[in-house]
Chains A and B, each alone.
Chain A
Protein backbone atom coordinates (compact mmCIF):
# COMPACT_ATOMS: atom_id res chain seq x y z
CA UNK A 1 0.00 0.00 0.00
CA UNK A 2 1.44 3.30 -1.06
CA UNK A 3 1.34 5.76 1.79
CA UNK A 4 0.14 9.25 2.48
CA UNK A 5 1.58 10.76 5.65
CA UNK A 6 0.43 13.76 7.63
CA UNK A 7 1.93 15.25 10.77
CA UNK A 8 0.20 13.63 13.70
CA UNK A 9 -0.76 16.92 15.34
CA UNK A 10 -2.92 18.22 16.84
CA UNK A 11 -2.25 21.77 15.69
CA UNK A 12 -3.46 24.73 17.69
CA UNK A 13 -3.28 28.31 16.40
CA UNK A 14 -4.74 31.61 17.58
CA UNK A 15 -7.50 33.28 15.65
CA UNK A 16 -6.11 35.32 12.75
CA UNK A 17 -2.92 33.30 12.45
CA UNK A 18 -1.76 31.18 9.52
CA UNK A 19 -2.26 27.44 9.89
CA UNK A 20 0.11 25.26 7.89
CA UNK A 21 -0.76 21.63 7.19
CA UNK A 22 1.65 19.28 5.46
CA UNK A 23 1.39 15.96 3.68
CA UNK A 24 3.89 13.68 1.99
CA UNK A 25 3.18 10.78 -0.33
CA UNK A 26 5.26 7.84 -1.44
CA UNK A 27 3.99 7.08 -4.96
CA UNK A 28 5.79 9.18 -7.56
CA UNK A 29 3.03 8.29 -10.01
CA UNK A 30 0.48 10.24 -8.01
CA UNK A 31 -1.37 12.71 -10.15
CA UNK A 32 -4.18 14.36 -8.22
CA UNK A 33 -4.15 15.84 -4.73
CA UNK A 34 -6.98 16.91 -2.49
CA UNK A 35 -7.54 18.50 0.88
CA UNK A 36 -10.76 17.59 2.66
CA UNK A 37 -12.11 19.11 5.87
CA UNK A 38 -14.02 16.90 8.29
CA UNK A 39 -15.93 18.31 11.22
CA UNK A 40 -16.47 15.98 14.14
CA UNK A 41 -19.24 13.51 13.35
CA UNK A 42 -19.57 14.71 9.78
CA UNK A 43 -18.38 13.48 6.40
CA UNK A 44 -15.39 14.93 4.54
CA UNK A 45 -15.96 17.97 2.36
CA UNK A 46 -13.59 19.15 -0.34
CA UNK A 47 -11.53 22.25 0.40
CA UNK A 48 -9.00 22.28 -2.42
CA UNK A 49 -7.79 20.18 -5.31
CA UNK A 50 -4.43 20.62 -7.02
CA UNK A 51 -2.92 18.83 -9.98
CA UNK A 52 0.16 20.86 -11.02
CA UNK A 53 3.29 21.99 -9.24
CA UNK A 54 3.03 25.36 -7.59
CA UNK A 55 0.44 27.24 -5.60
CA UNK A 56 -3.31 27.36 -5.96
CA UNK A 57 -5.26 29.94 -4.02
CA UNK A 58 -8.95 30.01 -3.14
CA UNK A 59 -9.97 32.70 -0.69
CA UNK A 60 -8.13 32.13 2.58
CA UNK A 61 -6.85 28.74 1.45
CA UNK A 62 -3.68 28.03 -0.54
CA UNK A 63 -2.62 24.58 -1.64
CA UNK A 64 1.00 24.01 -2.58
CA UNK A 65 2.29 21.03 -4.55
CA UNK A 66 5.88 19.94 -5.08
CA UNK A 67 5.99 16.68 -7.01
CA UNK A 68 9.80 16.47 -6.95
CA UNK A 69 9.76 16.48 -3.15
CA UNK A 70 6.49 14.56 -3.01
CA UNK A 71 4.70 16.88 -0.68
CA UNK A 72 1.53 18.88 -0.70
CA UNK A 73 0.56 21.49 1.84
CA UNK A 74 -2.42 23.60 2.81
CA UNK A 75 -2.15 27.08 4.23
CA UNK A 76 -5.11 28.70 5.93
CA UNK A 77 -4.71 32.46 6.33
CA UNK A 78 -6.61 34.51 8.91
CA UNK A 79 -7.68 31.34 10.68
CA UNK A 80 -11.15 31.38 12.21
CA UNK A 81 -12.64 29.25 15.00
CA UNK A 82 -14.94 27.78 12.34
CA UNK A 83 -11.85 26.31 10.66
CA UNK A 84 -11.42 24.00 13.65
CA UNK A 85 -11.73 20.52 12.16
CA UNK A 86 -9.69 17.57 10.99
CA UNK A 87 -7.97 18.12 7.64
CA UNK A 88 -7.43 15.11 5.43
CA UNK A 89 -4.87 14.92 2.65
CA UNK A 90 -5.89 12.58 -0.18
CA UNK A 91 -3.98 11.44 -3.23
CA UNK A 92 -5.03 9.66 -6.40
CA UNK A 93 -2.19 7.34 -7.26
CA UNK A 94 -1.06 6.56 -10.76
CA UNK A 95 -3.27 4.02 -12.49
CA UNK A 96 -6.05 4.16 -9.94
CA UNK A 97 -9.28 6.00 -9.32
CA UNK A 98 -9.35 5.46 -5.57
CA UNK A 99 -8.26 8.09 -3.08
CA UNK A 100 -5.59 7.22 -0.55
CA UNK A 101 -6.01 9.31 2.59
CA UNK A 102 -3.65 10.40 5.29
CA UNK A 103 -4.82 9.92 8.86
CA UNK A 104 -5.68 13.59 9.20
CA UNK A 105 -4.50 16.54 11.23
CA UNK A 106 -6.78 18.02 13.85
CA UNK A 107 -6.69 21.81 13.80
CA UNK A 108 -8.00 23.97 16.64
CA UNK A 109 -8.28 27.73 16.16
CA UNK A 110 -8.52 29.49 19.50
CA UNK A 111 -10.57 32.71 19.76
Chain B
Protein backbone atom coordinates (compact mmCIF):
# COMPACT_ATOMS: atom_id res chain seq x y z
CA UNK B 1 0.00 0.00 0.00
CA UNK B 2 0.97 3.65 -0.17
CA UNK B 3 3.42 4.95 2.38
CA UNK B 4 3.61 8.31 4.09
CA UNK B 5 3.67 11.14 1.58
CA UNK B 6 4.86 14.68 2.08
CA UNK B 7 4.69 17.82 0.01
CA UNK B 8 6.43 19.78 -1.24
CA UNK B 9 9.58 17.73 -1.52
CA UNK B 10 11.65 20.90 -1.61
CA UNK B 11 10.85 24.44 -0.53
CA UNK B 12 13.00 27.53 -0.87
CA UNK B 13 11.72 30.63 0.84
CA UNK B 14 12.91 34.02 1.93
CA UNK B 15 13.51 34.90 5.54
CA UNK B 16 10.35 36.24 7.12
CA UNK B 17 7.91 34.38 4.88
CA UNK B 18 5.46 31.77 6.15
CA UNK B 19 5.59 28.18 4.89
CA UNK B 20 3.20 25.23 5.08
CA UNK B 21 4.37 21.64 4.92
CA UNK B 22 1.93 18.81 4.34
CA UNK B 23 1.91 15.20 5.48
CA UNK B 24 -0.42 12.43 4.38
CA UNK B 25 0.00 9.41 6.67
CA UNK B 26 -0.46 5.75 5.85
CA UNK B 27 -4.15 4.97 5.53
CA UNK B 28 -5.57 3.79 8.85
CA UNK B 29 -2.73 5.18 10.95
CA UNK B 30 -4.13 7.34 13.71
CA UNK B 31 -0.79 8.44 15.16
CA UNK B 32 1.26 11.06 13.32
CA UNK B 33 4.58 12.67 14.20
CA UNK B 34 6.67 15.54 12.91
CA UNK B 35 10.46 15.52 13.24
CA UNK B 36 13.20 17.82 12.02
CA UNK B 37 16.68 16.84 10.83
CA UNK B 38 19.26 19.57 10.54
CA UNK B 39 22.69 19.19 8.96
CA UNK B 40 24.95 17.48 11.44
CA UNK B 41 22.13 17.00 13.92
CA UNK B 42 20.07 14.01 14.79
CA UNK B 43 16.36 13.70 14.27
CA UNK B 44 14.55 16.10 16.58
CA UNK B 45 10.96 15.48 17.66
CA UNK B 46 8.52 18.32 17.09
CA UNK B 47 4.93 17.18 17.73
CA UNK B 48 2.76 14.06 18.05
CA UNK B 49 -0.87 13.70 17.01
CA UNK B 50 -3.30 11.01 18.08
CA UNK B 51 -6.28 11.50 15.83
CA UNK B 52 -6.81 15.25 15.59
CA UNK B 53 -5.43 15.96 19.05
CA UNK B 54 -1.83 16.84 19.85
CA UNK B 55 -1.05 15.43 23.30
CA UNK B 56 2.65 16.18 22.92
CA UNK B 57 3.80 19.48 21.44
CA UNK B 58 6.93 19.61 23.55
CA UNK B 59 9.35 19.68 20.63
CA UNK B 60 8.04 22.76 18.83
CA UNK B 61 11.02 25.15 19.06
CA UNK B 62 9.09 28.42 19.21
CA UNK B 63 5.63 29.89 18.84
CA UNK B 64 6.41 30.44 15.16
CA UNK B 65 5.81 26.73 14.70
CA UNK B 66 2.32 25.25 14.72
CA UNK B 67 0.66 22.15 13.38
CA UNK B 68 -2.81 20.87 12.87
CA UNK B 69 -4.45 17.68 11.75
CA UNK B 70 -7.91 17.40 10.31
CA UNK B 71 -10.15 14.42 9.71
CA UNK B 72 -7.64 12.23 11.53
CA UNK B 73 -5.56 12.15 8.38
CA UNK B 74 -3.64 14.97 6.70
CA UNK B 75 -1.45 17.19 8.85
CA UNK B 76 0.01 20.60 8.11
CA UNK B 77 3.08 22.04 9.81
CA UNK B 78 3.23 25.83 9.55
CA UNK B 79 6.30 27.93 10.18
CA UNK B 80 5.66 31.63 10.43
CA UNK B 81 8.24 34.34 9.82
CA UNK B 82 10.85 31.79 8.80
CA UNK B 83 14.44 32.21 9.94
CA UNK B 84 17.61 30.79 8.43
CA UNK B 85 17.99 28.40 11.35
CA UNK B 86 14.69 26.80 10.30
CA UNK B 87 16.46 25.32 7.27
CA UNK B 88 16.28 21.55 7.68
CA UNK B 89 14.57 18.43 6.44
CA UNK B 90 11.13 18.10 7.99
CA UNK B 91 10.08 14.48 8.31
CA UNK B 92 6.63 13.13 9.02
CA UNK B 93 5.99 9.67 10.37
CA UNK B 94 2.90 7.67 11.19
CA UNK B 95 2.04 4.60 13.21
CA UNK B 96 -1.10 2.57 13.83
CA UNK B 97 -2.03 4.16 17.16
CA UNK B 98 -3.71 0.99 18.41
CA UNK B 99 -6.49 1.69 20.89
CA UNK B 100 -5.67 5.39 20.81
CA UNK B 101 -2.13 4.84 22.03
CA UNK B 102 1.06 4.74 20.02
CA UNK B 103 3.73 4.00 22.60
CA UNK B 104 6.37 1.65 21.29
CA UNK B 105 4.87 1.29 17.83
CA UNK B 106 6.98 1.28 14.72
CA UNK B 107 6.95 4.67 13.05
CA UNK B 108 7.08 4.81 9.26
CA UNK B 109 8.68 7.87 7.77
CA UNK B 110 7.79 9.89 4.72
CA UNK B 111 10.38 11.19 2.23
CA UNK B 112 10.62 14.56 3.95
CA UNK B 113 10.43 18.19 2.89
CA UNK B 114 13.75 19.98 2.45
CA UNK B 115 13.30 23.56 3.57
CA UNK B 116 15.85 26.21 2.71
CA UNK B 117 15.41 29.69 4.12
CA UNK B 118 17.49 32.31 2.32
Contacts and interface: CB of A to CB of B under 8 A. Distances in A.
Interface of A: 31-32, 34, 36, 42-46, 49, 51, 88, 90, 92, 96-104
Closest 10 pairs between A and B when the two form their complex, measured CB to CB: A32-B104, A101-B43, A103-B42, A43-B109, A98-B45, A97-B102, A101-B42, A44-B109, A97-B103, A43-B112
Interface residues of B, number: 27
A31 B103 contact: yes
Contacts of A51: 104
B102 A99 contact: no
A43 B45 contact: no
Nearest to A97: B102
A92 B103 CA distance: 7
Interface of B: 31, 33, 35, 41-45, 48, 50, 55-56, 58-59, 91, 101-112
A97 B111 contact: no
Contacts of A92: 103-104
B31 A97 contact: yes
A96 B41 contact: no
B51 to A, nearest CB: 13
Task: Output the residue of A43, A96, A101 with the most chain B CB within 10 A.
Answer: A43
A43 B22 CA distance: 16
